[in-house]
Structure 1
Amino acid sequence: MNKVVIITGASSGIGNESAKLFAQNGYRVFATARSLDRMKDLEALGCITVRLDVTDEASIQQAFQQIFAQTDQVDVLVNNAGFSQNGFLEELTPQHLRYQFDVNVFGLVRVTQMVLPKMRQARRGRIINVGSVGGEFTTPGASAYHASKYALESLTDGLRQEVNQFGIQVVLIKPGGVETEFVSNSTAFYPEPIDGNPYGDWRQRFTNMLATVVDSQKSSFPILTPVEVAEVIVQAAAEPEPQTRYRIGETAQTMPQLKGSMSDKEFDGLMLKQFGFIDG
């Protein structure tokens, strides 16, 4: 019997490429996202597409009712849905912050809770959370996003410890910068300036940085393709004894080491310079 994988955020980028690779490797793929229309390419490959908004409890319940009507088996869950709520902390409303954590943290937890009973009953399963090297350091102008990825690090570690007794393995995927729709999507959520626009200059510098930092043709950082990350996700699903963490790309390897070699103030200065907030 083919193994069953459920993937969130499969309409584009890493999730979309992962769904394709799983299908090509013989998995029965349930590809989920908010838009069914954007998963037509996956339908053509034989994937079963399901509408799922990870921030909407009714949508979660409906999606899994649809999935479990077609299978009692869940071998792999890939928690990929996510986005970056950029903006300087003073500018972010409670609604901005809640939605960031609703997508990247609370939605991921709810989806995971939906599959755990199936996996516990089967005494096996693999949960693969797509995090980021950004769960280990923070850049100015994106602290809410980094905070959500820090939270995912901790939740993944706790879950791994809790469900190992049931034969369930938990993996964290930690890519560096990836060239996807991630940046354009985050730009759409950028907050309005607060009174007086005290961050005006830095807002412009941040916008300029976004236009280049994950563009493989312009960036000074090594940039990954979604396929490169998807290949590691499929590898992590297939290995009998997967690693607990997969660091993908040069940035994911070197940035934590660099941060660990510096004081906080030294690293702050490096980030401000690298991301164009100060000259020098």
Structure 2
Amino acid sequence: MKSIIITGASSGIGKETAKLFALKGFKVFATARNVQAMADLKELGCILIKLDVTDDESIQKAFKQIYESTSVVDILINNAGFSQNGFLEELSRDQLLHQFEVNVFGLIRVTQQVLPQMRSSGYGLIINVGSMGGDFTTPGASAYHASKYALESFTDGLRQELKGFGIKVSLIKPGGVATNFINNAAFPLPVKGNPYGLMRENYQKMLLTVLDPSKSSFGILKPEDVALKIYKTAISKKPVTRVRIGASAKFIPFVKRLISDNTFDAMIIKQLGLNNVIKTN
């Protein structure tokens, strides 16, 4: 029975991925800060582990539990992440740091925990759940996009570093997914006289539209759709290094490569309804 660790398994993509692998006979270590939210996974045979990817002590304790239950981790799925919405001028240093602590540095810390054992075994698979947001940026979420760009580079470097040890690395890049991701997204409280008020309002409306299956132009993915792609990547003899899921994840980066930065900026600003707002603020 192969062992797999999944971070951020308390909801959305992480939970559906844990369910699928458990049903397929894997030994699943489902990890998240909120263990209670994973109670249904325990009924499927998953081993629940409390893990906060931003807390070194929590990481050490979690992996102590994991390695007491298994000597080999075959697959690591780095899924934990969140979106720090907000315009750059209104984000504090602590808010920016937290965005990278969760989406980048926490992921690196967790990955470092499995590398010695995987190298010793001579095999293993690491799947990082990124986003189409690692290909382009929108105003109102530049911190989030920056963290996903960083994840792209980190994944490329990791894949190159580990190839000689028999360890494979893949990046999953879904488009819009119907989860609580946006509802859980942090958004700084507006300050008095904030010039981004109307932009913020339009940005939030855009998010609700883009992630509404009845309104989106590209179609919205279900968490199960992404989980299935992750599973197929995991069982493949030659996992694809980048897996783009959904029309938007494929179309928008393609268009961006064909046009200038200024043209792309204008397209995004118009799409968000920010062109007139910017002129009047």
Identity %: 61
One-letter amino acid of the counterpart of residue 71, structure 1: T
Tell me the residue number matched to 1:148.
147
- Alignment of 1:230 with 2:235, yes or no, is no
Corresponding residue for 1:20? 19
Structure 1 residues 73-104: Cα deviation after superposition (integer angstroms, max 9, x where no partner): 10000000000000000000001100000000
SS of 1:191's equivalent in the other structure is coil
Instruction: Name the residue aligned to 2:55.
Output: 56
Give distance in 2, aligned partners of 1:262 and 1:195.
38
Q: What SS does the aligned partner of 1:183 have?
A: coil
Instruction: Look up the match of 1:177.
Output: 176
- After superposition, the CA RMSD in angstroms is 1.2
What TM-score, normalized by structure 2, do the two folds share?
0.97
The correspondence of residues 198-237 of structure 1 with structure 2, limited to 5 A, is 198-237=195-234
SS of match in other structure, 2:231 = helix
One-letter amino acid of the counterpart of residue 101, structure 1:
F
Deviation by residue 1:136-177 (Cα, 9 ceiling, x = unmatched): 100010000000000000000000000111100000001111
Residue 259 of structure 1 is matched in structure 2 by 256
* Structure 2 counterparts to residues 59-138 of structure 1, below 5 A: 59-138=58-137
Q: What CA distance in whole angstroms lies between the structure 2 residues aligned with 1:277 and 1:61?
A: 45
Report the alpha carbon displacement of residue 276 of structure 1 after superposing the two structures with TM: 2.4
- How far apart, in 2, do the equivalents of 1:195 and 1:263 lie? 36
Q: Could you report, residue by residue, the CA deviation over 1:192-250 in whole angstroms, capped at 9, with x for unpaired residues?
A: 22441111111111121122211212323321100000000011110011111111111
Q: Which residue of 2 aligns with 1:278?
A: 275
Partner residue in 2 for 1:193 = 190
Q: What are the superposed Cα offsets for residues 21-48 of structure 1, whole Å, 9 maximum, x if unpaired?
A: 1011110000000011000110010000
Aligned residue for 1:223, secondary structure, equals: coil
User: Which AA in structure 1 matches 2:92?
Assistant: T
CA distance, structure 1, for counterparts of residue 183 and residue 70 of structure 2: 35
Q: CA deviation at 1:273?
A: 1.4
Deviation at 1:278, TM superposition (A): 2.9
Matched to 1:253, the amino acid is K
State the number of aligned residues: 277
Q: Name the aligned partner's letter for residue 134 of structure 1.
A: G
Q: Kindly provide the amino acid, as one letter, of the partner of residue 147 in structure 1.
A: A
Give the aligned partner of residue 41 of structure 1. 40
CA distance in 1, matches of 2:147, 2:30: 23
Selected match of 1:241 from 205, 220, 238: 238
Q: Which runs of 5+ in 2 are unaligned?
A: 277-281
CA distance in 1, matches of 2:105, 2:209: 30
Tell me the distance in 1 between the aligned counterparts of 2:96 and 2:253.
25
Q: TM-score, normalised by structure 1?
A: 0.97
Cα distance in 2, alignment partners of residues 102 and 214 from structure 1: 26
Runs of 4+ deviating beyond 4 Å: none
Partner SS for 1:152: helix
